């Protein structure tokens, strides 16, 4: 297994600077955040993309995944939902040009007083449209179950698979996020084994089971030893992407190095 770091940690840096620092910290890949100032939809032109490819090649880095800026895919307002779908579709086009093979999608939250069943069905329709669009590109789409504060629709890997079964798109799988899974009370070994080849990607963060603190892995209560043991036994070959939160953006290099050292330690056990 190889390690990756979200460019979001370097929120106050340009994407080129973020990539340089992530490489210097010793990671194998980068998860590119699709928000400003990094890779928001139409902000990157062909010369920017060529420059990024050259930079990644120079540092020997890969792109583990692309994470679009949050879009509303379950809004009861058709114009807003369609705009969210177009945002993701444009992000898919950009990710394909960057040669990112996996795109993470957060489920979002229904509005106050909106029936959750309606939110679920609207999300399903949005994802089906996105899945059909993505079928024209060499990319995979990964639903990321989110904690109860971020979503009332998909909180667990079981719910994510229910959604995938409903929309019937073969290019969908799941991101297993350790921070969200800890809050949801998911059993890591059971979830990973149940996902099988639908496990497309891993996001690593930590917390104390109460809220999504986005701590450096090892600083909270998640059992990373069990995660790594299960991934090894199931022969997972993807990336482990760390996602430290806002609180580390003022000193990202220290957080990046501490994260990389922790990942090296648990991978060697």
- Mean pLDDT for 210-238 is 96
Task: Say what the pTM is.
Answer: 0.95
The dihedral through the CA atoms of 230, 235, 236, 242 has a sign that is positive
Question: What percent of the chain clears pLDDT 90, i.e. is strictly above it?
Answer: 94
Q: Give the number of domains in the chain.
A: 1
Q: What is the pLDDT of residue 136?
A: 96
pLDDT in tens, 144-161: 999 988 999 999 999 999
pLDDT score recorded for residue 134: 97
On the 0-12 / 13-18 / 19+ scale of CB atoms within 10 A, 173 is buried
Per-residue pLDDT of 6-24, as tens digits, reads 999 999 999 999 999 999 9
φ/ψ (deg, to 5) at 88: -65, -40
Q: Which residues contact 190 (CB under 8 A, 6 or more apart)?
A: none
Q: What is the pLDDT of residue 160?
A: 98
Helix (H) or strand (E) holding 30: strand 29-34
Domain CATH for 52: 3.20.20.150
**H helical segments located in the chain:** 15-24, 46-59, 78-98, 116-134, 157-167, 178-184, 188-195, 224-233, 252-268
CA 265 to mean position of chain CA atoms: 23
Statement: residue 269 has pLDDT above 80: no
**Are the beta carbons of 114 and 80 closer than 8 angstroms?**
no
What is the number of alpha carbons within 13 Å of residue 24 lying toward its C-beta? 10
Q: 207 is in which domain, residue-wise? A: 2-268
Q: Does a cis peptide bond (omega within 30 degrees of 0) precede residue 252?
A: no
The DSSP result for 192-222, as a single string, is: HHHHGGGEEEEEE-B--SSS---BPTTSSS-
pLDDT at 133: 98
Task: Supply the pLDDT for residue 70.
Answer: 82
CB 267 within 8 A of CB 13: no
Instruction: Give the distance from CA 168 to its chain's centroid.
Output: 21
Q: How far apart are CA 157 and CA 194, in angstroms?
A: 9
């Amino acid at each position: 297994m190889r390690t990756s770091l979200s460019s979001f940690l370097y929120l106050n840096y340009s994407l080129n600077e973020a990539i340089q620092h992530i490489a210097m910290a010793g990671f194998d890949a980068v998860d590119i955040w699709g928000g400003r100032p990094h890779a928001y939809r139409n902000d990157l032109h062909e010369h920017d993309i060529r420059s990024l490819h050259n930079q990644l090649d120079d540092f020997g880095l890969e792109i583990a995944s692309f994470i679009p800026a949050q879009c509303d895919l379950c809004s009861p307002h058709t114009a807003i939902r369609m705009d969210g779908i177009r945002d993701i579709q444009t992000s898919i086009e950009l990710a394909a040009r960057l040669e990112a093979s996996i795109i993470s999608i957060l489920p979002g939250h229904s509005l106050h007083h909106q029936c959750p069943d309606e939110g679920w069905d609207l999300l399903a329709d949005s994802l089906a449209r996105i899945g059909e669009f993505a079928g024209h590109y060499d990319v995979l789409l990964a639903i990321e179950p989110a904690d109860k504060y971020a979503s009332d629709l998909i909180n667990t890997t079981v719910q994510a698979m229910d959604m995938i079964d409903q929309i019937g798109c073969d290019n969908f799988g799941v991101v297993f996020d350790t921070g969200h899974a800890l809050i949801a009370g998911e059993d890591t070994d059971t979830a990973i084994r149940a996902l099988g080849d639908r496990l497309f990607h891993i996001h690593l963060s930590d917390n104390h089971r109460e809220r999504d603190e986005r701590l450096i892995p090892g600083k909270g209560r998640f059992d990373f030893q069990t995660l790594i043991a299960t991934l090894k036994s199931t022969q997972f070959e993807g990336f482990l992407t760390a996602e430290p939160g806002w609180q580390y953006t003022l000193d990202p290099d220290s957080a990046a190095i501490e994260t990389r050292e922790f990942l090296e330690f648990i991978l060697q056990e």
